[in-house]
Amino acid sequence: MSRPRPPTYKIKNWRAYNEALKRRGSLTIWFDPEMTWEARPTGKRGRQPTYSDAAIQT
């Protein structure tokens, strides 16, 4: 018994296909203003910077 062949797809709308390939690699990132770093860099050594609770939970 031979293996069944996988289905072959014929592309009819090349413009839409190419645009879909471009969009497939895109990544949208949304930053919440509440997840900002609260500490300002002072240039001095010392304790760790303070992060917001929302940033720690994610």
pLDDT tens track for 7-22:
888 999 999 999 999 8
Give the chain's count of helices (H) and strands (E): 2, 0
Residue 25 DSSP class: T
pLDDT tens track for 18-50:
999 988 888 888 777 766 666 667 787 877 767
CA neighbor of 36 nearest in space, from 12, 24, 54: 54
List the domain boundaries for the chain.
13-55
- Residue type at position 25: G
Instruction: Specify the pTM.
Output: 0.36
